[in-house]
Amino acid sequence: MKSRFKIVKLDVKYCNYLRQYDYRVSYNAGIKDLRPFIGVLFKVNKLEYFAPLSSPKPKHKLLTNTLDLIKIDNGNLGVVNLNNMIPVTSNNYIEFDLDKKPANKSEKSRIILLRKQLRWLNLNRNHVLTKSLALYTRYKEDELPKNVKERCCNFILLEEKCKEYNIPVTV
């Protein structure tokens, strides 16, 4: 059976650490809940790759799907920013509890949106996997148009930094 995508929250300290090396790593902390990421897009070198989700905005309906962006339900449910995908290990994230009882109306709306995004992403799993891995491969082989490469996180550098960050501590 194929594994399904999941919605996760990345560790704020981990994202801040990576941002020291690449300013394109999505900001992951604020007054509101942490930015959700979709994972696992793919695995490479024993690392999982996750990409940030954006909630729906009117501009998303006007955008076109590109090498580094996937419109979720034609933009009605937001987008996946593949250009900002980052490597992680299981130490760097926790899964969103989409079954928890919402504390308020705003949280309820957020959970409903995340469920819809996840449902669409899992229904279109092959497309998402193929596109994310193709972007990564073309980045690594230096085959992306300059404007796309400039929007992407430095996947190779971030893999090194992910490994350094997650080195087991020996006592």
Can you tell me the distance from the alpha carbon of 69 to that of 127, in angstroms, rounded to the nearest whole number? 12
CATH number of the domain at 38, please.
3.10.129.130
Total domains present in the chain? 1
Contact between 42 and 139 under an 8 Å Cβ cutoff? The reply is no
Average the pLDDT over 110-120 and give the result.
93
Contact between 6 and 90 under an 8 Å Cβ cutoff? The reply is no
Give pLDDT, residue 171: 59
Length of the chain: 171
Domain annotation covers residue 99: yes
Can you tell me the distance from the alpha carbon of 121 to that of 127, in angstroms, rounded to the nearest whole number? 9
Grade residue 85 by pLDDT with cuts at 50, 70 and 90.
Answer: very high
Average the pLDDT over 80-87 and give the result.
95
Grade residue 170 by pLDDT with cuts at 50, 70 and 90.
Answer: low
Average the pLDDT over 96-120 and give the result.
91
Domain annotation covers residue 1: no
Give pLDDT, residue 1: 45
Alpha helices in 20-124 (DSSP H): 58-62, 105-123
Average the pLDDT over 100-109 and give the result.
89
Domain annotation covers residue 155: yes
Average the pLDDT over 142-150 and give the result.
96
pLDDT of 33 strictly over 70: no
